[in-house]
Structure 1
Amino acid sequence: MSSGELADFLRRRREALRPELMPATAVHPPGRRARRTPGLRREEVAALAGVSTSYYERLEQARARRPSAQVLAALGTALRLTAAEREHLARLAGQVPSGREPDRTPVPDDARRLLDRLAPLPAYLVDARQDILAWNDAAAALIIDFGSLPPGERNTVRLSIRLGGTLCSAPAGAEAEFARQSAAQLRAAHARYPSDRVLGELVNAFAAHSPDFAAGWRDHDVRPVPTLRKRLRHPRFGPLDLDCQTLLVPGTDLRLVLYTAEPGGPSAAALDLMGS
């Protein structure tokens, strides 16, 4: 991972901090020097992290050596990073070894059994590239017959590009959530597997298709979004209002994606019929 990625991440997280929410002792009084940029100043972050201003400036300019684990921990606290962001920072700084490409081992049998047991809830498993590796019959009935697609097209991002708004949409005000969640997931995957060519091609394709994805990618937002609200248009049951939940399978790159509906409503009844 290049030092430029680390520099960009630090700068964007610094600019995202609101000075009025920081401890008064950590932020220079407004009258000392007018703020010309959003967020904290570099010297303020340096002071919070206990490093020199010149060193922190070199980090943001991609001119400093790799920071130590202790410095990264201090920067994580100063920038108020989440656990996901701290892990991302460590990967960008080379403190966590990168892999060559995502794990392509077969889906474990117990994970496949879990998918079947989740019926009538539609569910599928994706890897770091967002490739759909396994699914239950309810997911195929709800979304598309994944088995009829070429393996390279069984990917949530590629399906979003291919199907556009013909399959699903989002409630008003939440249209960008799927694109930004995809950006967060692929950005984190890119930090783990920076040399993965297929992953890079996927990022480029979606960035060209979706301005919201491109914006999320530039922001280095790696925070997971556990639940998305979606409206799917099913050819038989019509519009369905569903919650799409994503759960990490511990010890793997796999994520379980499942769809649920408000109990007692027409969408839940439709899921029951599909699952049967």
Structure 2
Amino acid sequence: MVLFETPSGFAIFYFDGISLYEPDAMENIWAHFVTEYRASHVIWRKDFQVFKDKSDAINYDTGLNNKLTKMLLKWHQPGQKLAIGKTQYKIVIEANLGISCLFDEPVMELMRGLNYLMHSVVPEEKSKLAKEHCLQMSQGLKMLLLRYGFDVKPEMVNDCIIVTACNLYDSDCCLKNQFKSWCHASHFLQDVSSINSQDWDMLKLATALKMVCYPEDEILFGNPDEMFSTDELSKLVADAHKYEDSGIIKGAILRLYNLTVYLYNSKAKYQRRLASFVKEAKEAYEAEQVI
């Protein structure tokens, strides 16, 4: 359960809380809130109420007023944790209602996502967020941008950067899933050619299996001469005929290879597009600083 504060009131959501405990929570949560459609798969709004004086609704000294108390108790289920965006709210709610609250970095990432989609998930809210909240960049987005070499100030972030970064994130996720399939097929290289591919990256592994299954076909992504050592390359070429009776399903390898190449090309496209958007945003930001 989530207590989300807006400029004029409080909203109650149910959230797929497993996301808060995953090892890569900070990198994953932000992507759920890039669009309303994506958010609809992980968060469900239950209530929203306007409060004339929010400081009266929840206060460190006076506790909670009746309106907010009823709102929380109406939707809270036994044993359910409540994610909240302020430390003082955690103290007040736990002391007055005995509801276990959660406040940490993944929760703050969730709140940043809700702020980004506020007018979609709480359409009744007509007020705008204060400037300092609008400029709070998602930590997950920041991690992704830095991983690809983009040092972007919060003031530079725009919808084009966010959406393209999310597309890049999706490509990365799909490639990680594909890697599991390639690892399952890698034992053929060991069994047939005595090649240990344990430390290979996915593209090298995919290329090797494509080469032995379809030795006459063109390699669509990357250069085998650069991927493999001379010994590895010669063994793959010489042993290709041995895979005919190895039990490997060549059609499955081809479909998986084509999908992997598509994902690598998509990832490269989104990287180029993101670099262009970041460059434009940086130039616009620097121009504003001069003025």
Shorter-normalised TM range: under 0.3
TM-score of the aligned structures, taking structure 2 as reference length: 0.23
TM-score of the aligned structures, taking structure 1 as reference length: 0.24
Larger radius of gyration: 2
Query: Which structure has more helix as a fraction of its residues?
Result: 2
